[in-house]
Structure 1
Amino acid sequence: MNPPGAKAPLDATRQLGPSTITMISLVTYPPTANIAILTRRFNPEQGSEQFDPESGSCSIEYYNACKDPYRVSANKFPVPWPWINGKHSKASEAIHEQLYDCIKKILSDHNISASAAVYKKASRNTPEDAVDVLLIRTRSVDTTSWKAAATEIYKIIGPAATAAQIDMRVEIRNDEMIYGDVSVDLIKDDATIDAITKIQPSILGAVMELCPGKWTSIAYHNRGLPFYKCETRATAIIFVKPGSIHAWAELEEKIIRTIISAAFPEEINISVEILPGRIISHTQQQPSSKTRDSGRALSYHCVDYLPMVPSNGSSIAPSNCTEAGGTLGAVVSYRAPGKEEVKKCFLTSYDVIASGDPAGKQINDACGRGRLMFKSISTTQPNMMLERQGDLGGLS
């Protein structure tokens, strides 16, 4: 249902470079504001055991798989993006070579012109689930027969893989059309930042209320394909624990309604994504020999990406503060008038660190906006407010 005076949502397909947004919810508020919220359409498979049509519940991985029409898997769903590659087994390569002619014929019968190769792939969030995949690449945009072709191919590959005591999947995809967005950079447009500042508390509140215990972080980035000078879109990203089950489509709709309510009457153009992602430390990871990238951080956010020594622009706060934060300014050498001692200090706003010395609050409030040297205020980086909210982006 639309707010009074609003136009009905526009359901359409819009081409943005190789990446396709398959649903645009466009609501226009008179007299001056336009709110355009872009999401990818969720299209679950009919009769799938991985989706409960009554509750709308499914795993976050299945939810995103059903938003990408240009990736089709015969068994289960395609390995979730972003993925990592490793060295495939000799057994899977032998199966591919043995059944090459049969695979080629099946593709020909379905009028699919393609090439095929075997890869070991795993979601970056779950490297322990690496699996050999017969990846069939095509430039066709007609996906009508992809599922049937992949299923036929798996019917001959599956028994061979079982006999070889390996797990193997079959996937057909169009590399130029699949979803492959990444966070390209931070949002720098002042109008967009102002709008996000206004909607951010409402989105956080909605996620905490509707998805407790499942979400891990919320971020606001420009996202697009990982190409030079790619077209990007301001995006609100809600990361949730890998494997989480929820009515994600319903949650996404409620977040969209929250944005519309919170943004009125501001103008905002923003995409919404709900993706699997977690915050972990390298010390929590168990290196896997299954993947070539096992030594790298295998999640969307990793605390160890933060520098050991905070730099100019880092997000900081007193270690006893969980409700606010600020920014570390320039590091300077400071010498008080009439003194010889030179101390190395950093610049920041008084209100950023004031709560770190509660005992001296009265005198600090009176004198702390100049050359006052606090006796000892312990700071943390990232600040606890951002860590509590799961936003390690350092924007404050």
Structure 2
Amino acid sequence: MTSAEISTELPQLPFDQPNALEVAPEWGLLRAQAPLVDVRTPVGDRVWLVTRYEAAREIWSDPRFGRSHPEPERAARLSEAAVMGGAADNYATEQADHTRMRKLLVPAFSAKRMRALEARVQELVDGCVDDLVAARERALSDGDGTVDLHARLSFPLPVLVICELLGVPFADRAHFSELSDRMSRLDGGDDAQAARAEFVAYVGGLAEQKRRDPQPDVISDLVAAQQADPRFDDLAVAKLATGLLFAGHETTVTRIDYGMVLLLTRPEAYRRLAEEPGSVDGTVEEILRLAAPGGLGVLRYAHEDVRLGEQRIARGDAVVLSPTAPNRDPAVFERPGEFDPTRSPNPHLGFGHGAHFCIGASLARTELRTTVATLARRLPDLRLAVPVDALELRSSQLTGGLVALPVRW
């Protein structure tokens, strides 16, 4: 079958259904036809959509694919968002820049440091749950006791954690959250680009403060690293810190929201967390498999002609890597549409793979593990206050997520 015969629009996959492949059968149909299929993005550009697990792993690990494009002005775009919407980085220096960035950040996001941070994350989660309980008491006096878990926990917790880690004032959360929203709008266009410029300027100002008064935080570490690498200029520091601040809270907010929907629509899995605390790790991995933020994926561009199985990917062609379809590939996952916290092994691609494996994976796991375990222990009767199909999705945002998550107990 030729690519022209199976060309289609980039499909979306709901997160909240018992068997997502039945809800969005086009994913299963496309996967059956080829590991890569020719699709159009929401802005009308042609890209290769990766549908199978092994193909996704191979491309994520292949150094012949990158975020940069040999001819940026001709690069296919995924959306009009200012982040992950199109080509990024410098084609001539991408690999060297990426290696330097990883070397700088590994100590800050290492598993060892995340373990040391666990006690602080627990304090922050407990504080958010305390706030949720207090809000519920007020809501009971006024009505049925419904409170918004998104506003009281899913959103503030990752913001608190990433602010503390990077050295960003929590008081500025409304400002950088507004900038995040604007620059990640799929239809943002010029305003998204303007918001990104404002975000970089804001973080650049923080970096200048750290230069005058360094603290034990990541932005101070980045500023200090400039002394050893003159190529790591102020703009590079600001852009890198901007990416960390954006990704460090946006994606985790979405995963907490989606993960709690998965659990609260499966009460036996939620109860099991309190009855068997050791089940939290498996539960979190299954959340990560099924609850990938956003629905479009990330772009990679071929830096040379590449043959993947029977498919030739030409230099400059774009491929869309989304864990959505590969994480439901029946060739790898038995009963792929089911939420199974006992699934083992669970080699999901929720954080990517290879050299581009998400550097914040340990942090996200720590936040998710602490959040779901604490809620199950402290609020065992927690339940959704509205039907799942009444939840409002942030469909215009790059990372997706929920507008609100009404709950009761």
TM-score (norm 1): 0.27
* Bigger relative contact order (CA 8 A; separation at least 6): 2
Larger radius of gyration: 1
Higher helix proportion: 2
TM-score (norm 2): 0.26
Higher strand proportion: 1
